[in-house]
């Protein structure tokens, strides 16, 4: 039976009050203050004046219990907060929280961000340049509320005092507790160390919304839309915009301005529908890109636009529509249709910001909010189009330079089409295609180009652009995974296909397990394959593990369930199971990580005899 949200909230409040008011019931549950066992650590044996480092609070939560994340979705729940107080001369630069796990409880209708098992919290500290050598004590207070599947205890606090030793420059400082400080939240998804300023702001879009409210959220969404104009899916559309409005303007600024508004309206329709779908289904646009039909459609649109750049056709309103709407409306309808097309082409460049927005909208399940958020995103993205289109229509005049520039972006659009189809064509065919297109572009835009010269500056620009394309072809040939390098690189880690039965066998044999969740369209996955998994030390140490790989290029029902079971939110994700078959959550890897850090992560999971 579905419990209404209001009743769930009331029930949760009653449970909290009952837990606090009935001492006799405390015998049935652990005391709040004993629910989380904590220890404190410093990242270095000796800190030097002017240096930065970390402190950590390691919390071990009792079995079958959890604590809320630092940003719970329900405003009635109490967040977990780490408060750090340092003496003079030591500055707290940021608080670091681990990534929570989304879990479904019986008292909630949707998954909630929670911490359970062993979790590490931390802070970035900076040592003043004029501090005196000696030992300094930092006070860390972890405030939390513990709950199990049905009951919550009263809030509690765990206090740790961490000793930090400051020494002279002659005293060596060594890193301590690698298993803690070489894992999240002290390193990011790329394996790089977290720096000051990235700690407290490393939460999802939903966290930002909870903290700052809707007004600021919509402002940030608009700014995010502006930033999307720098992505590779949007930037090549600039000449299409210029060309379209130059041909439509008739030299009238007011007419061009109206057309640009309808152009952006078409883009807004595409993105608003995307937001409503995400809110209704909880799905992401990225999952649609795993469908070969969708990929083929996007690639075909890109190639079609590229042929327009080469002058093989020109976008015009269909005759039967122009007859019914009239010439004036034809331009507006044509602008809307052009904007719809641009929205479809640009949508794959969602990026981390829009991915967070999609996740948040999907979790809220509010179609109207999703519509408004993505409508705002589209107008932020469309503002430069309005300015550029209006100015180009009133100031720019067609010329030979524009024909040549359109050819450049025609080649870029073909490269984009190949990029989106890469996991269907395979890496070898795709890379060879990149090389052929780059060579062709370099030759056709420079030595073999027959565009009439328009001054020495234009001639120099042609040489530079042509050389860039030819250099790009050389780079693609020699890059990791490229046609030339692929033949020279030695073999890497040997993987088995993922299966639950193989995990059970490993547990019975007392062997740890390493599982690589990847996809053919994932660039960081390819970097792992060619930079990390070909490292001899990594290969040698990995032989102690049962190595399984799950390919998420295309996802069926079974793979969806496995993703949910392991909490996989993106690729690449690498998880480690110890000899008892339990995941070492602090060893989980999301994103590219170099061979050195990867080796340390494996050693933290399993020590060779």
| Span 472-491, pLDDT tens digits | 888 877 765 556 555 445 57
Q: In what order do the strands lie in the sheet with 134-144?
A: 81-85, 134-144, 156-166
The string of pLDDT tens digits covering residues 533-543 is 888 889 999 99
3-class DSSP assignment, residue 512: coil
Domains of the chain from N-terminus onward = 5-190 (2.60.40.10), 212-394 (no CATH), 496-605 (3.40.30.10)
Cross-strand pairs, 139: 85, 161
User: Phi/psi of residue 580, each to 5°?
Assistant: -90, 0
For the segment 423-451, the average pLDDT, to the nearest whole number, is 85
Please, is 497 exposed, middle or buried when counting C-beta atoms within 10 Å of its C-beta (0-12, 13-18, 19+)? exposed
- The least confident of 69-78, 468-477, 597-606 is 69-78
**pLDDT at residue number 233:** 57
Instruction: Identify which has the larger pLDDT, 170 or 392.
Output: 170
What's the chain's average pLDDT? 75
Query: pTM score, two decimals?
Result: 0.42
pLDDT band for 174, please (50, 70, 90 cuts).
confident
What mean pLDDT comes out for the span 169-184?
82
Q: Is residue 22's pLDDT more than 90?
A: no
DSSP helix/strand/coil, 566: helix
Residue 590 vs residues 122, 181, 191, 518, 573: alpha-carbon distances, Å? 19, 16, 9, 10, 5
Please enumerate in sequence order all residues whose Cβ is within 8 A of that of 23, keeping only pairs 6 or more positions apart, or say none.
none
- Both structure tokens of 179: 């298993």
pLDDT tens digits, 384-423: 777 776 766 555 555 566 678 778 878 887 887 887 777 6
Is a pLDDT exceeding 60 seen at residue 464?
yes
Q: Please provide residue 74's backbone torsions phi and psi, each rounded to the nearest 5 degrees.
A: -90, 125
How many Å apart are CA 200 and CA 18, to the nearest integer?
34
- Within 10 A of 65 (CB to CB), how many other CB atoms are there? 20
Q: What is the pLDDT of residues 220-230, one digit of tens each?
A: 788 877 877 66
Percent of the chain with pLDDT over 70: 66
Most confident by average pLDDT, 233-242, 333-342, 413-422, 512-521: 512-521
């Amino acid at each position: 039976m579905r419990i209404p949200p209001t009743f769930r909230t009331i029930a949760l409040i009653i449970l909290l009050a009952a837990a606090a008011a009935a001492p006799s019931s405390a015998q049935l549950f652990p005391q709040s203050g004993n629910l989380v066992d904590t220890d404190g650590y410093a990242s270095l044996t000796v800190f030097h004046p002017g240096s930065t480092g970390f402190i950590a609070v390691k919390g071990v939560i009792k079995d079958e219990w959890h604590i809320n994340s630092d940003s719970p979705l329900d405003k009635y729940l109490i967040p977990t907060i780490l408060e750090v107080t340092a003496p003079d001369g030591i500055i707290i630069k940021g608080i670091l929280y681990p990534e929570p796990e989304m879990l479904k409880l019986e008292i909630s209708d949707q998954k909630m961000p929670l911490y359970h098992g062993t979790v590490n919290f931390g802070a970035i500290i900076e040592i003043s340049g004029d501090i005196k050598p000696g030992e300094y004590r930092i006070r860390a207070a972890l405030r939390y509320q513990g709950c199990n599947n049905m009951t919550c205890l009263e809030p509690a606090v765990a206090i740790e005092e961490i000793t930090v030793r400051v020494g002279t420059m002659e005293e060596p400082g060594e890193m301590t507790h690698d298993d803690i400080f070489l894992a999240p939240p002290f390193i990011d998804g790329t394996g790089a160390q977290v720096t000051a300023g990235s700690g407290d702001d490393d939460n999802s879009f939903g966290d930002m919304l909870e903290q700052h409210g809707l007004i600021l959220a919509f402002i940030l969404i608009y700014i995010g839309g502006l930033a999307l104009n720098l992505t590779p899916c949007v930037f090549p559309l600039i000449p299409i915009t210029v060309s379209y409005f130059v041909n439509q303007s008739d030299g009238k600024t007011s007419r061009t301005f109206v057309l640009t508004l309808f152009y952006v309206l078409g883009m807004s329709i595409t993105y608003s529908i995307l937001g409503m779908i995400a809110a209704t289904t909880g799905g992401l646009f990225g999952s649609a890109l795993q469908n070969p039909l969708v990929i083929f459609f996007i690639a075909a649109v890109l190639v079609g636009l590229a042929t327009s750049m080469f002058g093989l056709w020109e976008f015009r309103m269909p005759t039967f529509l122009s007859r019914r709407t009239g010439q004036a409306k034809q331009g507006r309808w044509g602008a809307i249709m052009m904007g719809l097309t641009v929205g479809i082409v640009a949508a794959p460049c969602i990026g981390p910001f829009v991915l967070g927005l999609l996740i948040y909208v999907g979790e809220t399940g509010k179609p109207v909010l999703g519509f408004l958020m993505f409508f705002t995103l589209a107008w932020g993205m469309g503002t430069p189009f309005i300015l550029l289109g209006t100015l180009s229509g009133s100031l720019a005049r067609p010329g030979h330079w524009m024909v040549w520039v359109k050819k450049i972006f025609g080649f870029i659009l073909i490269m984009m089409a190949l990029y989106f189809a890469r996991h269907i064509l395979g890496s070898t065919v795709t890379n060879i295609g990149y090389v052929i297109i780059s060579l062709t572009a370099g030759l056709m835009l420079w030595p073999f180009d027959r565009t009439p010269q328009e001054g020495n500056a234009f001639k120099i620009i042609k040489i530079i652009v042509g050389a860039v394309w030819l250099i790009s072809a050389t780079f693609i040939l020699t890059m990791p995974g490229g046609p030339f390098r692929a033949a020279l690189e030695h073999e890497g880690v040997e993987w088995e296909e993922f299966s639950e039965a193989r995990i059970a066998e490993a547990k019975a044999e007392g062997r740890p397990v390493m599982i690589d969740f990847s996809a053919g369209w994932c660039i960081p996955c390819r970097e792992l394959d060619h930079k990390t998994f070909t490292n001899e030390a990594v290969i040698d140490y990995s032989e102690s593990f049962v190595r399984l790989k799950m390919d998420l290029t295309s996802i069926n029902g079974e793979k969806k369930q496995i993703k949910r079971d392991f909490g996989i939110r993106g690729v690449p994700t690498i998880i480690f199971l110890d000899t008892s078959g339990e995941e070492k959550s602090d060893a989980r890897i999301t994103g590219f990580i170099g061979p050195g850090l990867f080796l340390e992560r494996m050693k933290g999971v399993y020590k060779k005899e």
